[in-house]
A and B are shown apart, each in its own frame.
Chain A
Amino acid sequence: MTSTENIRTQTPVRRLGDVVFSNAATFAGVSILATLALVAAFLIAESIPAFTGVEIAAAKNGFWAYVGPFVFGTVFASTIALLIATPLAVGIALYISHFANRRFSQVLGYAVDLLAAVPSVVYGLWGILVLAPFLTPSYRWLNDNLGWIPFFSGTVSATGRTMLTVSIVLAIMVLPIMAALIREIFLQTPRLYEEAALALGATRWEMIKMAVIPFGLPGIISAAMLGLGRALGETMAVAMVLSPSAVIGFAVLTSTNPNTIAANIALQFPEAGGNYVNLLMATGLVLFAITMLVNLGARWVINSRKEFSGAN
């Protein structure tokens, strides 16, 4: 060790180790930016031949006519999934954060996390071999009794491979991540708000309505949007469960359903050749753009209310 005077006169040394290490860290950070730029660049480059090359049999009426039904199917399926999943996710989050007792709720949290860990291909297998046959009688009932609603009209699919089954599977798949996010936000509700409400004689539900829900609302919205982002890009469950056709229609119980972008790529790509590959690549780019918009929207909601850091 050198003396104190000696240290004072020294200029700060740039140690070789420090330089190398900090540069390596910065390089890693920059490589993330580079990777995303590469993803965009390669997808665009590989999509271009779909527009310039020879006409593709599958897309005789132009690219947008080809991708239109898929975009519709993607958004439609995800929207129904979200309509199912959001109330359930709020319910689960409330149950774990405010209703179940503490030890029990930890176990429940694990159980919900386990749902998140199940691979999508297993959901697909379960959806088609277990869920679809199980739901078919209920679909028939819906069609018989509520067939006047356009959604439930048409001829009921005998196999259960319908838009509604797909949406239910998607809802189950996005449920855990949404529930986990919303739970985190509900747990951050200031204890004093809750106790103040209870001290004023509010019942548990009134306390939740007055303190928890208003506090967690931005979090619920952003969780829903993140769930939507997941559902939009989900591939295998849709590819396995849905019986697809290139239509735009709102009937959710029939066997003619609009396919989703991701599922269409997964089903077509292994057999595709020539510039059909480029066409699929271009539809992938459309999907990328849609999910990106949704995710950016969610991030924007989160960032505009930064105190809800649990949602990051």
Chain B
Amino acid sequence: MTSLQQPSSLQGTKDLPRFINPALLLASAVISFATQASLAATTALEVNLLAVVIIAVLGYALALYLISYFIEGKRKAKDRFVTVLVSSAFAVAIVPLISLAYTVVTKGAARFDLDFFTLSMRNVVGQGGGALHAIVGTLEITGLATLISVPIGIMTAIYLVEYGRGKLAKMVTFFVDVMTGVPSIVAGLFAYALFVVFFGPGVRMGIGGAIALSVLMTPVVIRATEEMLKIVPNELREAAYALGVPKWLTILKVVLPTSLAGIATGIMISIARVIGETAPLLIIAGFTASMNYNPFDERMATLPVFVFTSYANQGIEMQAYVDRAWTGALTLMLIVMILNLAARLVSKFFSPKG
């Protein structure tokens, strides 16, 4: 290949060798740690990890910029500098995720035992006890919320995609967007305001939690289903009409089955999103230490609220309460992860192959 003419601003320059990146990063990390460690030794403080990392990355970016500036020219130097910045922005986001996962797993493991899943907190002070009451509550309330919001969500999406024309459809689309932005605590207040009318002040009920959650969940289901219905090819619908199939049967037998995997994925993700909601349940479902299987009567514990109250109301033997909070958090994370994973698997294996 003949050599290409480089633009004048890049001319007369050489590329830096590839090993320059890791080498410089390592060097700046070592220097940064050394200076911080010596500083810590003189002031008798602990080494501040945050400072070490910040100085290392800044030093790396600056050194790379300067070296590149003199060897490769200004424009390439800037490009390298931005690459470092963008990559470190990404690293900054990943570090909390790793830290979070690590802490939840290590600290949650302390009480991740049989007792935790078979006992309630009734008459438990200090160590022992479990979160069965909260797990049952979470499953029931989330299940009821799903029962409410899935039919409404799917039918609304069908309306928007298959039937809705004109002003009403526009309004529905707009208000679904508005509904997506309702803060979770406001949904809880709404459920309380609704139930107070019928049951008087101080009402606490599991079903109220289900209603609050379905306010949060329905728009997510609608959006997911809508997206899936939209990508069903129009040819399929037209083929069905041409065979004389009525519209409603076309939707039921052609459109929905085609998009079923996508809809199932969307529903699972929406469940994963609301199962961790704390604020609305704190308000309307309340908290109890005992089992309560009946969502239509009295307070009902849920896993997120269990985590919150275990931490917020530490009794004697504080560590036991904090341990239970972490294990509750671990259980919650596991449920959310399993739901997300299942959603991905469903969409991978059951979506129609083009």
Contacts and interface: CB of A to CB of B under 8 A. Distances in A.
Interface string B244-282: 001111011000000000000000000011011111001
Nearest to A269: B283
Interface stretch (B24-32, B92-100, B232-240): B92-100
A83 interface: no
Nearest to A277: B201
Interface in A260-312: 262, 265-266, 269-270, 273-274, 277, 280-281, 284, 287-288, 291-292, 294-296, 299
A270 B215 contact: no
Interface string A74-102: 00000000000001101110111001100
B82 A205 contact: yes
B154 to A, nearest CB: 8
A291 B184 contact: no
Nearest to B273: A117
Contacts of B287: 270
Contacts of B275: 119
Interface stretch (B14-22, B55-63, B122-130, B155-163): B155-163
Contact of B93 (A31, A115, A128, A292): A115
A65 B246 CA distance: 61
Nearest to A130: B103
Contacts of B121: none
Contacts of A111: 94, 97
Contacts of B51: 138, 141
A11 interface: no
Contact of A17 (B46, B196, B249, B340): B249
Q: Say what secondary structure dominates the interface of chain A.
A: helix
Contacts of B49: 134
A266 B90 CA distance: 33
B342 interface: no
Given A281-B193, A291-B182, A235 B93 contact: no
Given A28-B155, A122-B332, A269-B282, A115 B182 contact: no
B332 to A, nearest CB: 5
Given A88-B93, A119-B336, A266-B282, A18 B246 contact: yes
Contact of B190 (A43, A120, A266, A295): A43
Nearest to B94: A111
Contacts of B202: 273
Interface residues of A, number: 97
Nearest to B161: A25
A131 B99 CA distance: 9
Contacts of B248: 15, 17-18, 20-22
A235 B278 contact: yes
A147 to B, nearest CB: 17
Interface stretch (B71-79, B110-118, B139-147, B345-353): B71-79
B33 to A, nearest CB: 16
Nearest to B54: A138
Contacts of A96: 90
Interface residues of B, number: 103
A99 B86 contact: yes
B76 A203 contact: yes
B66 interface: no
Contacts of B175: 32-33, 36
Interface in B33-68: 45-46, 48-51
Interface string A19-46: 0111011111111110110110011011
A117 B340 contact: yes
B193 A46 contact: yes
A29 B193 contact: no
A285 B155 CA distance: 29
A118 B333 contact: yes
Contacts of B7: 201
B10 interface: yes
A265 B185 contact: yes
A291 B183 contact: yes
Contact of A42 (B90, B194, B278, B311): B194
Contacts of A208: 82
A39 B48 contact: no
A70 B127 CA distance: 37
A125 interface: yes
Contacts of A214: none
Contacts of A288: 182-183, 186
A164 interface: no
B42 to A, nearest CB: 15
A30 B78 CA distance: 54
Closest 4 CB pairs of A and B: A119-B276, A233-B183, A91-B89, A28-B155
Interface of A: 15, 17-18, 20-22, 24-33, 35-36, 38-39, 42-43, 45-46, 87-88, 90-92, 94-96, 99-100, 108, 111-115, 117-126, 128-131, 134-135, 137-138, 141, 172, 175-176, 179, 201, 203-206, 208, 226, 229, 232-236, 239-240, 262, 265-266, 269-270, 273-274, 277, 280-281, 284, 287-288, 291-292, 294-296, 299
13 contacts: A39-B186, A45-B193, A46-B193, A117-B273, A119-B329, A121-B278, A126-B96, A126-B104, A138-B50, A233-B183, A234-B183, A235-B185, A295-B180
Given A33-B172, A88-B92, A90-B89, 16 more contacts: A29-B160, A32-B219, A33-B171, A46-B196, A99-B87, A114-B97, A115-B97, A119-B333, A121-B276, A122-B276, A130-B100, A172-B96, A201-B7, A203-B75, A235-B185, A288-B183
